[in-house]
Homo-oligomer: A and B are copies of this chain.
Amino acid sequence: MKPAKAIIPKLDDVAQRAGVSTATVSRYYNNPAIVAPATAERIRAAIDEMGYVPNLLAGGLASNRSRLVAVLVPEIAQSIFNDTIEAMASELSLDGNTVMLGLTGAGNARMPQLIEAALARRADAIILTGIITDDGTRERLRERAMTVIETWGVPEDPIDIAVGFSHQAVGRDVARFLHGRGYVRPLLAVAEGARARQRRDGFLEEWRTTGHDAPTVIDVPLPTRFGHSRMVWRHVSQMSTPPDVIVCGSDVLAQGVIIEAQSAGFRVPDQVAVVGFGNLAIAGDMRPSITTVDVDGARIGREAVAVLRRRATGDRIAQKVIDVGFRLIARESA
């Protein structure tokens, strides 16, 4: 049984108890440097005694700063973005900000509603990993002068600021690496997302320059599941001339393909090599360990928050795109 509603102390109660005006208590919270030490001490005591918790709804309304940051991602169940989200949440809570989580769903279907929700809460910023396809929404965000940080990709024309790396470049580097190792018949298992396709395009473009035949490409549904690896392997086992290396859209998929290959009696990488993407923990720990592309997801999160911090201090930020790069990590699987 819930007890009757308790009276929640407000700023004015604290002020009276401390013998000051509400203005001073407000300053104690928002600009402590300008209140006299003795006064601050009295206020602190009053707050403690009453168990006062400021009302950020009221504060946000008055100051026009919600201290809310909307973080919009496709999903979190198996997401490669989770490190980024985690880093952002930690960093943001350090300076009193809160993450409002929005899941845009497959194909970013719910993106418009979530943007709307973020605007309705007067979020101070919106951080995305997906892409805003709706021109109306893009326009509206621009008009509002909203801080919008697009992460993981580096679009040609960011709405505002972008933090990420070039997926084309990843594709190119992987192609070059595999060519260098002497592989000649790669197979690409590409997820349906826009970024995965950029990696594919980068790969194909680079591969063309090697003079080899164009690689086979098969599509894998999003979100990537471990089980999709069976699909991939089934496809592979039916090919007349099987690939010598399978380039997977994610480490999870790569791991699955390796397990399937092994259980079908194939040796990895001798008979078939495998490359992943993301450098998840499993990539390093798998047997054989997985050759993959490392992306510092946490750093993306931190850089994004750093941008927010600079904006908060009135900084202008000339650099619209922050490229955090990536590293190809050669391990046992390829």
Task: From the candidates B96, B100, B229, B285, name the one contacting A256 in the complex (CB within 8 A).
Answer: B285
Answer yes or no: A155 CB below 8 A from chain B CBs: no
Complex contact A53–B285 (CB within 8 A): no
Query: Are A103 and B121 CB-contacts (below 8 A) given A145-B2, A287-B262?
Result: no
Complex contact A51–B140 (CB within 8 A): yes
Task: From the candidates B55, B105, B121, B143, name the one contacting A122 in the complex (CB within 8 A).
Answer: B55
Residues of B within 8 A of A98 (CB): 100, 102, 117, 121
Residues of B within 8 A of A51 (CB): 140
A267-288 interface with B by 8 A CB criterion: 281-282, 284-287
Complex contact B282–A226 (CB within 8 A): yes
Answer yes or no: A78 CB below 8 A from chain B CBs: yes
CB distance from A88 to the nearest CB of B (A): 10
A294-316 interface with B by 8 A CB criterion: 316
Identical chains bound together, number: 2
CB distance from A325 to the nearest CB of B (A): 21
CB distance from A136 to the nearest CB of B (A): 9
Residues of B within 8 A of A227 (CB): 281, 284-285
Chain A 247-265 interface 0/1 with B at a Cβ cutoff of 8 Å (1 = within): 0000000001001101100
Answer yes or no: A201 CB below 8 A from chain B CBs: no
The chain A residues found within 8 Å of chain B, CB to CB, are: 1-6, 8, 51, 53-58, 60-61, 66, 71, 75-78, 82-83, 85-86, 89-90, 93, 96, 98-103, 105, 110, 113-114, 116-117, 119-122, 140, 142-145, 160, 225-227, 229-230, 256, 259-260, 262-263, 281-282, 284-287, 316
Considering only CB atoms, which chain B residue lies closest to A121 in the complex?
A: B56
| Most B CB within 10 A of own CB, among A82, A98, A229 | A98
Instruction: State the CA gap A259–B174 with chains docked (Å).
Output: 27
Complex contact B86–A121 (CB within 8 A): no
Instruction: State the CA gap A214–B164 with chains docked (Å).
Output: 52
Task: From the candidates B54, B96, B142, B287, name the one contacting A260 in the complex (CB within 8 A).
Answer: B287
Complex contact A57–B60 (CB within 8 A): yes
Considering only CB atoms, which chain B residue lies closest to A64 in the complex?
A: B57
Instruction: State the CA gap A225–B89 with chains docked (Å).
Output: 21
Instruction: State the CA gap A98–B75 with chains docked (Å).
Output: 15
Instruction: State the CA gap A184–B298 with chains docked (Å).
Output: 44
Complex contact B61–A89 (CB within 8 A): no
Instruction: State the CA gap A8–B144 with chains docked (Å).
Output: 8
Given contacts A78-B281, A259-B286, A263-B287, 6 further A-B contacts (CB under 8 A): A3-B145, A57-B121, A77-B83, A226-B286, A227-B281, A227-B284
| Most B CB within 10 A of own CB, among A85, A120, A121, A230 | A121
Considering only CB atoms, which chain B residue lies closest to A6 in the complex?
A: B143
Residues of B within 8 A of A101 (CB): 71, 85, 89, 99-101
Complex contact A226–B281 (CB within 8 A): yes
Instruction: State the CA gap A260–B119 with chains docked (Å).
Output: 49
Complex contact A122–B160 (CB within 8 A): no
Query: Are A82 and B77 CB-contacts (below 8 A) given A98-B121, A262-B287?
Result: yes
CB distance from A147 to the nearest CB of B (A): 8
Query: Are A56 and B120 CB-contacts (below 8 A) given A100-B99, A110-B93, A256-B285?
Result: yes
